[in-house]
Structure 1
Amino acid sequence: MRNRFLAETYRRQTTNALGSAAKKIGDPELINLSIGDPDFVTPQEIIDEAFIQAGQGHTKYTKPSGDPQLVTAIRGFLKEEYQAHIEQDEIMVTVGACHAMYVAMSAILDEGDEVIVPDPYFVPYYDQVTMAGGKFVPLETNFEEGFQLDLEALEKKISSRTKAILINSPNNPTGAVYDRTTLEKLGKIAQKHSIIVLSDEVYEAISFGQKHVSVLEIADLKDRSIVFGSFSKSYAMTGWRIGYAIAPEYVISTMVHINESICFSAPSISQRAALSALRQRHALQPSLVAAFEERMVYGYRRIVATGILDVLRPKGGIYLFVDIRKTKLGSEVFAARLLEEKKVLVLPGNVFGEAGEGFVRIAVTVDLEKLKIAFDRIEEFIKTTGD
């Protein structure tokens, strides 16, 4: 009976992997390495300033495109970091980067338009594309090639209905990082075929050993890209739900128009907190990035030391995409048994696309003490996989 009242699209709804993992949290012995919600608390300086700003009256709607002071601060950050000259009307502040992406997809996709996405991919991408009426087209990448873009294979995927390619660097889940040469070649392809590049850069600050390269630095992509940013991981502000999109003015104005019928504007207090974060980023961000790097390197060393598991050397982000193929277990069986037998929660790689089969994703969202316990348990577990 109740299905009568649901849209046909959702009558056979399934919870995505992130939602399923969240339901398993609560066991005190469980070590949760599944969801990308780090244990860090937002720096006190940001919290204190947000309270002050609320007391000063910043509790009302802002402009639909965002608090003008925050937009100006984002422009300043982009100019300082990437020498990108972005206008005030080319930025929209959103309720996190996923919200920005949903509104952007709604703005650019007609029914049946294709979006090419490197596989493995962040789980919500599929829904983001299809909910906007688009067709999701996976582009396989592999461990042996560092999960890098195969640009020749990409060009073969382009059809008359291709509207965009969606990239993510540093990548969730694989940890792959795209260099300037790759992005410049991608820019040439985008120009040649007149397609948009959607660039999810939410982990841009969490880069190790090399500076992040943004599509905003690539000349061929300046007028045909939509970039998504976030304060969630780089400032430990996941619960504040604040992100932004950067795009040509006509795209931003369309996104703003669409969002006026969704949530009008991002929360004003969160926007003031984000403004505080940007103003203090040189003081607050380095220690956070260093802590993530320490955890990533520790995890990498523990994984390769097993001689059975493998993983790419960390270059950025907060995820280790672990090659488990030598255990002879599938991704879902490995993750299920690890949870049942050792109470360590990871995500099976196949939830991130077909190319993720044979892998599991570990989020370094707990401290080193808990990571040590988790990897001790993982080592004990893989010794039993040959039984």
Structure 2
Amino acid sequence: MVSERLSQLRPSPTLEITAKAKALKAQGVDVIGFGAGEPDFDTPRHIKDALYQAVEDGFIYYTPSPGIPELRQAISEKLKHDNGIDYASDEVIVTPGAKQALFEAVMALVNPGDEVLIPAPYWVSYVPMCQIASARAVPVATSKEQGFRVSAEDLASSITERTRLLILNSPSNPTGAVIDRKGLSEIADLCIKEDITVISDEIYEQIIYDAEHVSIGSFPGMRERTVTVNGFSKAYSMTGWRLGYAAAPRGIIKLMSNLQGHSVSNATSFVQKAGVAALRGSQDCVAGMTAEFRRRRDRIVELLNEIPGVECLVPDGAFYVFADFSGVEADSMKLAGMLLDEAGVAVVPGVAFGDAGEGFQRLSYAIGMEKIEEGIARIDKVVRRMR
């Protein structure tokens, strides 16, 4: 006897593809993996040193479920300074990764049968989180022609009497799209009018190039109806450290803290100390990493657009391109399989990010430039053979 609800969940497609690529590499197959959703840089030294010191100091025990006061205060200050959102430290919860914060927020905000608007293409875990909460995910399709930026008009057409929540991700995984200030202002007005709460997933906030990052929680009337989620994995290359956070009104944070206390307890104690160092230390490491991502972005977009039948927009943020391969093969799963089998190149099929992603492939450029150039050259050869 097993749970019917959990039996309906499918494994994360991105993690599956990354695991398959690693398995092939272990067998001696020369595979270039564009599937990774994590920076390929080392964690900055001052952050690692803070962790080592915390362990040496014996800071190895349980912490309060919502996090140590020092880190919650540092996050509160960061949100006020960088994002223009004024949350007290007790309106912040520290979590074992931003994914946990997103999950807890969904569980705290919806009831069975409630509807959750999710702009598509979307990150692979949003829909399963809604399923676990017995809510109904409602994808709101965006297109390449609109730069994959959802508009208030798009969202309004999907609102029903059951709509309770909007999950917004800007910069976006998988598209790299960034919603501008005007677009966010219009979405904020719609959410206030329709009494919709927003979970704003801002994990790629600092990996941004030719656009401005704006937090929807900073607009008038939105602080009270927004859960701002962020973390340390992407900006500080700390994916395996599992450290994230959320900020929201106290009532929501209390519910999330109760859930965390009865499930994962708390984020790892000494990792929280490292989080303080990340926020309060030099940010030059972030700027340097983002500059290298920009260089890679420009190159991978250039190379992809030279392949016959492929069109690739220039992403404004994150470290992914979402390239249109429909002129080569409209079935994204089929093409992804061909590229892995025939070229030893692992990409993530667009359909993994919802029906709006069919015909596209997501490629991460969180790999070295040499691998980018070799991988795209392999893809080019396969495509030209197909034509």
Question: TM-score, with normalisation over the residues of structure 1?
Answer: 0.96
* AA at the equivalent of 1:189: L
**3-state SS of 2:165 partner:** strand
Contact 1:215 1:221 in 2 (8 A): yes
Match of 1:242 in 2: 243
Instruction: Give the AA of the match of 2:38.
Output: D
2:22 is equivalent to residue 21 of structure 1: no
Report what 1:229 is aligned to: 230
Q: Kindly report which structure 2 residues correspond to 1:68-147, keeping only aligned pairs within 5 A, or say none.
A: 68-147=69-148
Q: CA deviation at 1:219?
A: 1.5
Instruction: Indicate the larger mover: 280-289 or 104-113.
Output: 280-289
2:4 is the alignment partner of 1:8: yes
Aligned residues: 382
Q: CA deviation at 1:178?
A: 0.4
- Are 2:354 and 1:353 aligned? yes
Deviation digits for residues 179-227 of structure 1, max 9, x if unmatched? 1111110111011110101110000000103331111321131111111
1:314 paired residue number: 315
1:261 aligns with 2:257: no
Distance 2:223 2:383 in 1: 47
Pick closer, same or farther for the CA change 1:343–1:214 going to 2, 3 Å: same
- Do the aligned residues in 2 keep the contact of 1:184 with 1:220 (CA within 8 Å)? no
The C-alpha deviation readout for 1:142-193, integer Å capped at 9, x for no partner, is 1111111132231121111111111100000011100111111011101111
Change (3 A) 1:111 1:278: same
- Structure 1 residue 275: Cα displacement: 1.0
2:176 aligns with 175
Q: 1:118-157, CA deviations, whole angstroms, 9 ceiling, x for partnerless residues?
A: 1110000011111011110010111111111132231121
Matched with 1:252 is 253
SS at match of 2:277: helix
Q: 1:250: how far off?
A: 0.6
| 1:231–1:243 contact (8 Å) kept in structure 2 | yes
Question: Which moves more between the two structures, 143-152 or 127-136?
Answer: 143-152
**Displacement, 1:288?**
1.1
> 1:297 touches 1:314 (CA, 8 Å); kept in 2?
no
> Residue in 2 aligned with 1:371?
372
Match of 1:283 in 2: 284
Q: Extract unaligned runs of 5+ from structure 2.
A: none
Cα pair distance change 1:12/1:75, threshold 3 Å: closer
Post-superposition Cα deviations, 1:243-288, rounded to whole Å, max 9, x if no partner, equal: 0011111100111011110012111111111111112242321111
| Pairs within 5 Å for 1:325-364 | 325-364=326-365
Following superposition, the deviation at residue 308 of structure 1 comes to 2.3
The range that moved more, 210-219 or 176-185, is 210-219
Q: Counterparts of 2:157 and 2:116 in 1: how far apart (Å)?
A: 13
Q: Using a 3 Å threshold, how does the CA distance of structure 1 residues 107 and 10 change in structure 2: closer, same or farther?
A: closer
Compute the TM-score of the two structures, normalised by the length of structure 2: 0.96
- Preserved contact between residue 323 and residue 361 of structure 2 (Cα < 8 Å): yes
CA distance in 1, matches of 2:116, 2:7: 25
Q: Secondary structure at the match of 2:311?
A: coil
Q: Deviations over 1:287-329 (max 9, x none)?
A: 1111111111111111112242111112110110010011134
Q: Which amino acid aligns with 1:9?
A: R
Partner of 1:293: 294
Counterpart for residue 159 of structure 1: 160
Work out the percentage of aligned pairs sharing the same amino acid: 34
Give the secondary-structure state (helix, strand or coil) at the position aligned to 1:223.
helix
What amino acid maps onto 2:96 in structure 1? V
> 32-41 or 237-246, which moves further after superposition?
32-41
SS of 1:219 mapped into structure 2: coil
Q: Does the CA contact (< 8 Å) of 2:109 and 2:165 recur in 1?
A: no
Residue 45 of structure 1 is matched in structure 2 by: 46
SS of alignment partner, residue 197 of structure 1: strand
Deviates more, 1:278-287 or 1:261-270: 278-287
